[in-house]
Structure 1
Amino acid sequence: MLYVLPFPAIDPVLISVGPFAIRWYALAYIVGILFGWWYAKRLVGSPKLWGPGGAPIKPIDIDDLVVWATLGIILGGRIGYVLFYDFARFMAAPAEIFAVWHGGMSFHGGFLGTVVAMVLFARSRRIPVWSLIDVVAPGVTIGLMLGRIANFINGELWGRATDVPWAMVFPNADDQPRHPSQLYEAALEGLLLFLVLRFFTHSQLRLKQSGFVSAVFAIGYGLARIVSEFFREPDIQIGYFSGGLTMGMLLSLPLVLAGIILLVVVMRRPMGGA
């Protein structure tokens, strides 16, 4: 028998009062949105990060964006999960689409939903779209980190079978020691990507170069997710595609490509170009 780390038995429900319960997963979303709101306001409100002329966005714009972004995250994340990960099941029981408390959210869907929300909001306020995405993207990483930690607490989205010393047996899976891939994703997609983006937002007036931070986020997340997928067990209803690819990899490849194209376009523009 391989030596494995014990899986921490943390109750997925943080607080329960009668029929009402607050789950770690829901708390991750709430804290992630609040942090993203606070951090975006910090970036917008720091003149030294923007140079002459300051930010093209006002802190009050970030306040008003929160509702739009929240709707984009929830609607996009749920629709993305339905379309990308379990379409047949939801078509057989359409009412389950609205049962979000049963779980099932897609980052790529939430990402697209949030981008659409930000584009619509930016146009309504006549704000540069890429500048808005630039200040929102860094805070998203902390939400991703918290979400993956919540996945770990829930004992879901576990990793592939392995013999590494830090392997764990997930109660909801089987008796095989597995990678705690949720924690890998929390570190790569969350903490590491946040530090990378913070470096760029606080150096060489990159926020003045609209779209630069957005491009780095797209490339960074896509690569982090692809690497993590090598350790994560694919969804049972989907499995592997040709060549050992997973759905997470296939959805991340276009994101990396789009980020590279955007980065090339941005670098060819003069500083401050829209």
Structure 2
Amino acid sequence: MPISASALAAPVMALAFPAIDPVAVAIGPFAIRWYALAYITGLVGGWLYARRLVSAASLWGGVPRPSVTDIDDMLVYVALGVVLGGRLGYVLFYNPGQYFADPLSIFAVWQGGMAFHGGLAGAAVAMALLARARKIPILSFFDVAATVAPIGLFFGRIANFINGELWGRPAPDLPFAVVFPNGGPVPRHPSQLYEALAEGVLLFLLVAAVVRVAGFRRPGLVTGVFAAGYAIARSACEFFREPDPQLGFLFGTQVSALEGGVTMGMLLSLPLLIAGLWLVRRALDREPRAGEETA
């Protein structure tokens, strides 16, 4: 995206990008990157929290709930769904031309390129298959996953920052703007950290508050709150995030640092927002399942 001359002017203050090696651990030719650790930490952290949630009968009332064993299996299903769906979503929505020209590069996941919306769809399909096999209501799985998903989002966005990718728009006058190694000499919004706060911390607290008040006695309520909350948080952060260079703005053009057209992230979040609001309305229109479920 073209950068204005004013954006190239020397900033009053700017932070140098922290020199963090993207490789966390290297033993000979074997290397573990922070990005991979973020995925592992998010999945394991969510799995442990999910086990506690399904063990708390008071949160469920009379709603059928997954067992701890179901949650153990869900970890494997979700991991596969996130990776496959995230990669496929990135290929189809963000860079189809490159991958259709070189199909084998689709499998080069170590080079980066994952889409949250694709990963969410992949995880949803995986959980639906597991729920059908175990004869458990799909929304019971979805509500648990929605409660723990912000954990993975938080660590994923921190990994994006460490990798120096998905940086923000130019912000030469911002005291805490960051000059990213691959983002040119212009100080930029650390939008990855904004997303870690909004999609990770704040969304986690919002969903946890809903669980604390309503539990899982209204199937779909937690899922709806998460979906709508993520869509709003992601769309808000898109105003600070630099659009993908191969796409730019889908509609409209940038006028200032906080203005611009519609991005792919905003477009993909719209159906998520609609679905989330519909689920919330549907859940609130139904009476909660009272009583404590017995084993």
Q: TM-score, normalised by structure 2?
A: 0.90
Residue in 1 aligned with 2:45?
Answer: 35
Residue in 1 aligned with 2:268?
Answer: 251
Residue in 1 aligned with 2:190?
Answer: 180
**1:212 equivalent among 193, 209, 221:** 221
SS at match of 1:235: coil
Residue in 2 aligned with 1:270?
Answer: 287
Question: Aligned partners of 1:38, 1:213: CA distance in 2, in Å?
Answer: 18
**Larger Cα-atom Rg:** 2
Deviations 1:116-173 (A, max 9, x none): 0011110110001101110111211111110100000010000000121111111111
Deviations 1:183-205 (A, max 9, x none): 0000000011001111111113x
Residue in 1 aligned with 2:15?
Answer: 5
How far is 1:264 from its partner?
1.1
User: Which blocks of at least 5 consecutive residues in structure 2 are unaligned?
Assistant: 1-9, 253-260, 291-295
SS at match of 2:26: strand
Residue in 2 aligned with 1:143?
Answer: 152
User: Contact 1:210 / 1:272 at 8 angstroms: preserved in 2?
Assistant: no
Question: Aligned partners of 1:135, 1:69: CA distance in 2, in Å?
Answer: 12
How far is 1:54 from its partner?
6.8
Residue in 2 aligned with 1:56?
Answer: 65
User: Contact 2:51 / 2:68 at 8 angstroms: preserved in 1?
Assistant: yes
Residue in 2 aligned with 1:240?
Answer: 249
Question: Aligned partners of 1:74, 1:106: CA distance in 2, in Å?
Answer: 9
Deviations 1:239-262 (A, max 9, x none): 002131100000001100111111
1:47 has 2:64 as partner: no
The amino acid that maps onto 1:67 is: V
Residue in 1 aligned with 2:199?
Answer: 189
Higher relative contact order (CA 8 A, sep 6+): 2
Residue in 2 aligned with 1:14?
Answer: 24
How far is 1:216 from its partner?
0.2
How far is 1:50 from its partner?
2.0
The amino acid that maps onto 1:103 is: G
**1:79 equivalent among 71, 88, 94:** 88
Question: Aligned partners of 1:161, 1:181: CA distance in 2, in Å?
Answer: 11
User: Contact 2:46 / 2:152 at 8 angstroms: preserved in 1?
Assistant: yes
Residue in 1 aligned with 2:97?
Answer: 88
Decide which structure has greater helix share: 1
User: Contact 2:95 / 2:246 at 8 angstroms: preserved in 1?
Assistant: yes
Question: Aligned partners of 1:70, 1:50: CA distance in 2, in Å?
Answer: 25
Question: Aligned partners of 2:53, 2:138: CA distance in 1, in Å?
Answer: 16
SS at match of 1:127: coil
How far is 1:223 from its partner?
0.3
**How many percent identity over aligned positions?**
56
TM-align CA RMSD: 1.2
Moved over 4 A (4+): none
Question: Aligned partners of 2:275, 2:289: CA distance in 1, in Å?
Answer: 21
Deviations 1:23-79 (A, max 9, x none): 00000000111011111111100122223x475221111011111111100100000
The amino acid that maps onto 1:158 is: W
**1:106 equivalent among 78, 98, 115:** 115
**1:125 equivalent among 128, 134, 156:** 134
User: Contact 1:68 / 1:121 at 8 angstroms: preserved in 2?
Assistant: yes
**1:67 equivalent among 45, 67, 76:** 76
User: Which blocks of at least 5 consecutive residues in structure 1 are unaligned?
Assistant: none
SS at match of 1:242: coil
User: Contact 1:160 / 1:178 at 8 angstroms: preserved in 2?
Assistant: yes
Question: Aligned partners of 1:8, 1:21: CA distance in 2, in Å?
Answer: 20
Question: Aligned partners of 2:246, 2:122: CA distance in 1, in Å?
Answer: 24
The amino acid that maps onto 1:261 is: W
